[in-house]
Amino acid sequence: MPAYKLREAAAFLGVSDDTVRRWVDAGRISTLRDGSGRSVVDGAELAKLAEELAAAAPRPEAQPVMLESARNRFTGLVTRVVRDAVMAQVESQAGPHRLVSLISREAADELALEPGVTAIAAVKSTNVVVEIPKR
């Protein structure tokens, strides 16, 4: 079980050491004692608190996109979505072009990607394979 010094916990949470000490005093977070007798925070508890703080943080309103660096945008229909625990393979058909993308499962779920959904595939690649057709 990983455990973190109060100073390390504060750094992960983006708050001061004093704030973590106040949270400990208030019972918001509990501590253990390490082999040297110092107060430490259990890593799993620290991760849970970090998620709670992130969920409660105000988020700036999303701004509409005015310009995009990706030049190749294909509007089409999602034809297939294969999800596993971590990733999703999304296939779409944009005219004669079949596009396949690997994205996180979380992103596919947030976008509610399913067959029949209209989606835009924005393609920007640093590696492009060029082939010469057989004559």
Q: Are 13 and 50 in contact (CB under 8 A)?
A: yes
126 vs 73, more confident: 73
Instruction: Assign 32 to helix, strand or coil.
Output: strand
Distance CA 7, CA 21 (A): 9
**Nearest to 70, CA basis, from 44, 42, 99:** 99
pLDDT for the residue 63: 75
- Domain(s) labelled CATH 1.10.1660.10 in the chain stretch across 3-56
- Domain(s) labelled CATH 2.40.50.100 in the chain stretch across 72-123
Q: What is the DSSP string of 57-110?
A: S--PPPPPPS--S--EEEEEEEEEEEE-SSEEEEEEEETTEEEEEEEEHHHHHH
Distance CA 41, CA 55 (A): 20
* Phi, psi (deg, nearest 5) at residue 77: -105, 135
CATH architecture of the domain formed by 3-56: Orthogonal Bundle (1.10)
With 0.85 as the threshold, say if the pTM is over it: no
Instruction: Assign 121 to helix, strand or coil.
Output: strand
Does domain 72-123 fall into CATH 2.40.50.100?
A: yes
Q: Kindly indicate the confidence band of residue 132, based on its pLDDT and cuts at 50, 70 and 90.
A: confident
| Mean pLDDT calculated for residue range 112-119 | 92
Each residue's pLDDT tens digit, 10-65? 998 889 999 999 999 999 999 999 999 999 999 989 988 998 888 888 877 777 77
Each residue's pLDDT tens digit, 64-111? 777 777 778 888 889 999 999 999 999 998 888 889 999 999 999 999
